[in-house]
């Protein structure tokens, strides 16, 4: 029950900050650095006391935090490059579909989990539904002459991003379950490391950071607060339920984003989005039964 509430809260927060960023129409290193800066400062009253209350062993804590930050940065940089070189409608669904699929496989092979056939069927339905939803936004080869080449680039980058998603899912799950690190302090420390790497890169673009904050204050605030809170809720859910259930179940946020894209942003193919949403929800129902 607790895991379900954490996953539902994380999905809602994830959907809200994604929609806010999409409506703002901005991204890139300055925007992500701005959200990290605001997030690190805003969540310090939670992150610092969490570390003080449960002081981790440096020999274990430091490598896990550095690894988490490296995987999160790899995710960001790879995803941004994929969006520049290919269609979002190909990269996004493949990334969000292969990520949980590989996470389930990794949970079995690396974490020793043994999900039953109902859970595996549910995970498969979630992955299939996510791909159906995402491909509703893919570009037709009739629209652009190089659409075929862009599609293959999208497939490569989407799969690569999915591997990274599975990587940080399994890494962070092991940190809060096997190493028993406190989720809030652990992820706040990871954000600090991410900021230390991205901020100098963002400052190279003179004035870009200030322009982002002035031009999109609401989007920066929502992403800065809701993105880490959503992920911390997922980390906490790992302590109550197996990765093979949590990783695919959190993709219910894709349903919320797809419906908001149709209802709020007037994006195309509503029937395909609804069909994919039904498939995802059916998979979530099976995961709950499992």
pLDDT in tens, 72-90: 999 888 887 887 777 666 6
What band does 206 get if pLDDT is binned at 50, 70 and 90?
confident
| CB-CB contact of 151 with 90 (8 Å) | yes
- What residues have CB less than 8 Å from 262, skipping those under 6 apart? 270, 273
Q: Which residues of 199-235 are buried (b: 16+ CB within 10 A; e: fewer)?
A: beebeeeeebbeebbeebeebbbbbbbbbbbbbbbbb
What pLDDT was estimated at residue 37? Answer: 95
What pLDDT was estimated at residue 226? Answer: 94
What band does 29 get if pLDDT is binned at 50, 70 and 90?
confident
The tokens for 195 are 């900021």
Q: Containing H/E element for 103?
A: helix 88-109
What pLDDT was estimated at residue 136? Answer: 64
| CB-CB contact of 212 with 30 (8 Å) | yes
What pLDDT was estimated at residue 147? Answer: 59
Give the Cβ contact number of residue 94 at 10 Å. Answer: 25
pLDDT: which is higher, 24 or 39 = 39
Phi then psi for residue 15, to 5 deg, are: -65, -45
What pLDDT was estimated at residue 282? Answer: 87
pTM of the model: 0.86
What mean pLDDT, rounded, does the chain reach? 86
Torsion angle of the four alpha carbons 63, 170, 15, 91, in this order, in degrees rounded to the nearest 10? 100
What band does 17 get if pLDDT is binned at 50, 70 and 90?
confident
CA 132 to chain centre: 18
Domain locations along the chain: 2-289
Q: What is the rounded end-to-end Cα distance, in angstroms, of the chain?
A: 13
Q: Which residues of 48-57 are buried (b: 16+ CB within 10 A; e: fewer)?
A: eebbeeeebe
Question: What is the arithmetic mean of pLDDT over 228-253?
Answer: 92
């Amino acid at each position: 029950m607790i895991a379900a509430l954490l996953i539902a809260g994380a999905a809602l927060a994830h959907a809200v900050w994604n929609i806010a960023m999409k409506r703002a129409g901005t991204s890139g290193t300055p925007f992500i650095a701005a959200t990290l800066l605001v997030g690190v400062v805003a969540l310090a009253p939670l992150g610092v006391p969490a570390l003080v209350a449960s002081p981790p062993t440096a020999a274990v804590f430091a490598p896990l935090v550095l690894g988490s930050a490296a995987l999160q940065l790899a995710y960001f940089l790879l995803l941004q490059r994929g969006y520049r070189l290919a269609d979002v409608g190909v990269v996004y669904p493949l990334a969000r579909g292969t990520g949980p699929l590989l996470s389930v496989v990794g949970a079995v092979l690396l974490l020793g989990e043994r999900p039953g056939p109902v859970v595996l069927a549910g995970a498969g339905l979630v992955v299939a539904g996510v791909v159906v939803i995402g491909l509703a936004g893919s570009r037709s080869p009739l629209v652009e002459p190089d659409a075929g080449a862009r599609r293959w680039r999208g497939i490569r980058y989407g799969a690569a991003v999915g591997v990274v998603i599975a990587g940080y899912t399994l890494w962070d799950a092991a940190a809060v379950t096997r190493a028993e690190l406190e989720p809030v302090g652990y992820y706040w420390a990871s954000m600090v490391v991410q900021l230390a790497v991205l901020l100098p890169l963002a400052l190279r673009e003179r004035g870009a950071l200030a322009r982002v904050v002035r031009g999109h204050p609401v989007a920066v605030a929502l992403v800065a607060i809701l993105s880490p809170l959503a992920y911390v809720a997922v980390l906490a859910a790992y302590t109550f339920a197996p990765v093979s259930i949590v990783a695919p179940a959190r993709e219910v946020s894709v349903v919320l984003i797809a419906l908001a894209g149709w209802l709020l942003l007037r994006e195309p193919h509503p029937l395909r989005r609804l069909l994919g949403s039904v498939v995802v929800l059916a998979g979530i129902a099976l995961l709950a039964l499992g």
